[in-house]
Chains A and B, each alone.
Chain A
Amino acid sequence: MSGPWAEQLALLPGYLVAHLQLTLAALLLGTAVSVPLGVWVTRRPSLEGPVLAVAGVVQTVPSLALLAIMVPLLGALAVVLQGAVGVELRSIGFLPALVALTLYSMLPILRNTVTGIAGVDPALREAAAGVGMTGRQQLARVELPLALPVIVAGLRTATVWVVGTATLSTPVGATSLGNYIFSGLQTRNQAAVLVGCVAAAGLALLLDAAIRGLEIGLAQRRRGVAAAALAVLGLLVAVTVGATVADRLGGGETPVRIGSKTFTEQYILAEVLAETVRREAGRPSEPVPSLGSTVLFDALRSDQIDLYIDYSGTIWATVMKRETLPDDRDAVLAEVGTWLRENHGIELVAALGFENTYALGMRRAQAEQLGIRRIGDLARVASGLEIGADYEFFARPEWTALADTYGLAFGKQRSMDSALMYQAVASGEVDVISAFSTDGRIAGYDLQLLEDDRGVIPPYDAIVLAAPALVRERPDVIEALRPLAGSIDAEAMQRMNFAVDDGGASPESVGRAFVEDHQAP
């Protein structure tokens, strides 16, 4: 088996078990809530409509949004709980994904519980009462057993939904098969995307078939079929529980958790940090890839992750909410460092030495033809051009500042995945993009970056940030990372990005190779 496949398949057991843990926990919780709720509702017919309507509304929230909204919701709850009872709650990672997926699983189970119980023959209710059953006995001995096949059918629908939706829990920090898909799409690693999709689909089919077997076994009272289905399900549960227990027991030292945003450079740099922590500090480390940018900062601030790489200008504009532009890179770095330490106890460990700034980019040929070299030149032709940018860009203060200062009004604005942006401009789908200055594809597609002649965009030095707890408790890790300061220039970063985006290398191998080379001399 060739390199990229072997590399991806090596990740499979970990991702698969994490996916199962998340899925099974959500289904278990969803069933534990929905079945009693469904029973309760059948006893109070006036509530049936409202309860099913609420569950239906939850279902209509796009699953990605439902997952994402759990982070701030749990964050707020965490603050309350911390204040009230001193309980610590993790608002990123397993918990938000679990809550969202549980909510997502509820409607089919709830609806089928109600339908199943309502479908019990009235003659059987009369017989049950007639032989002297109490209300509770009628439920336990007659109504639930007879509704069970229908309830299991609902569970089966929920299972397929949850296995699929769990792949979207990567951005809230929960490991799943979605890690393959998110990082694979960003780094254009087709092997990763394929392995992730096939594994998720395979898992959904397996669980679907097992529960289908259980359903048939129950409905037709075929013990053998039901037992075989239960054996398959039991095996999956045993593997999951076993892995969870092994995790807890064999844990040893808690690994240093390293977060990353959802683009290639971040995956590479997270691996650079992880490898440095392993080699230089001799500590275990664990990547938490593909988190949303504001989720990351909150996670670091609350010690849910230990390290990540951000950019000085992002902290300056989006976190510190400064509107004025400082004179130079070093002044911004110094002020950001002081502000983070004083306000959040976060340590700015090192500036890596390069900037990854937003820069407007065009095809070189088109820029030359239109005579555009600086952003200032764009204003007069912008109305006839189309701009494409990543999802955040048009909502960011940098865009507002650019548009205001240069008077930019493009004919059309399109948001798209940052991984597709470069291809879109290269093929002429759009004319201008919000490129990242270190992206390898700028050189690859022969794009021209336009000079920010009025200095609107703040400097974006890549900086290593460390969580308050890490600073307090593991100073050796901080010291091990300090030598990374100034170790990567823009050209080196572009090369590494290009090796992943166009050369088919994995971020892990590129990151590790950098640490080896850096250390060698």
Chain B
Amino acid sequence: MAAGECVFLVGGSGCGKTTTLKMVNRLVEPTTGRVRVDGRDTCDLEPHALRRGIGYVFQQVGLFPHLSVARNVAITLSLLGAPQPEQDARADELLMLVGLPPAEYRDRMPHQLSGGQQQRVGIARALAARPGLMLLDEPFGALDPVTRDRLQQSFQDIRRELGFTSIFVSHDMVEALLLADRIAVMDGGRIIQVGTPRELLVHPDGPAVSALMETPRRHTAVVDALLAEAGA
């Protein structure tokens, strides 16, 4: 992967997307082969040290219920031993970035937030230690479509601003087409095709990839037809 790139892992349930993602930060240990981040074998580092340099966002969010929003955001900094004022300043900065005004949100407890707000905090938490790499495991999968759309927009903006590299697991093909620089299609634990969204749409390699591309195509066709009718 190139620096700053956003690669999506897509494919049917059980195809190995999440496992592949978790091998990067060693939440799952690879049985064979090697994972390199910034040219270094991940097995050369202690897992916790490795993970402090990689942002991780997942569908269940996993905000610590006994810590305030600001303490959740700054948790990795606190693990790294950053002084309290630095943690506070960084938490405010990130809350601002993810669209939650710090004055209003920093002292709230997680259960006082909506699902979308919780995942915004989850993203802020993953970004706290300025990781060069972000891992996102269906981060918006449990949100309603409107909220999902807003968060996708926000994510895109943040990515442009910060320039981190990201690996994104999703089974939402529209999301992949909107956000990805490249998409890797997986099946049965293997990557069967990698390419830009356009390449995959135009030159799907085999029936499995074609099938995946079929849904967004059909949806688009239906929406286009409706719009055309309305325009006529």
Interface residues of A (CB under 8 A from B): 121, 123-124, 126-134, 137, 141-142, 145-146, 221
Contacts and interface: CB of A to CB of B under 8 A. Distances in A.
A121 B50 CA distance: 23
B66 A129 contact: no
Contact of A126 (B27, B52, B63): B27
Contacts of B75: 131, 141
Contacts of A221: 66, 109
Contact of A132 (B58, B64, B79, B109): B79
B168 to A, nearest CB: 15
Q: From A124, A131, A145, name the one whose CB has the most chain B CB atoms within 10 angstroms.
A: A131
Contacts of A145: 66
A146 B65 contact: yes
Contacts of B46: 134
Contacts of A126: 27, 58, 60, 62
A132 B66 contact: no
Contacts of A132: 48-53, 76, 79, 129
Given A131-B51, A131-B75, A137-B79, A124 B109 contact: no
Interface string B7-33: 000000000000000000101000000
B90 interface: no
Contact of B125 (A124, A131, A134): A131
Q: Chain A's interface: helix, strand, loop or mixed, by majority?
A: helix
22 contacts: A121-B62, A123-B61, A123-B62, A126-B58, A127-B56, A128-B62, A130-B25, A130-B51, A130-B58, A130-B62, A131-B79, A131-B125, A132-B53, A132-B79, A132-B129, A133-B79, A137-B48, A141-B75, A145-B66, A146-B65, A146-B66, A221-B109
Interface of B: 25, 27, 46-53, 56, 58, 60-66, 75-76, 79, 109, 125-126, 129
Nearest to B63: A127
Nearest to B75: A131
Q: Sorted from nearest, which 8 A-B pairs have the closest CB atoms?
A: A127-B62, A132-B52, A123-B60, A130-B56, A132-B51, A123-B62, A134-B48, A132-B48
Contact of B51 (A124, A129, A141, A146): A129
Contacts of B79: 131-133, 137
Contacts of A128: 62, 64
Contacts of A142: 64
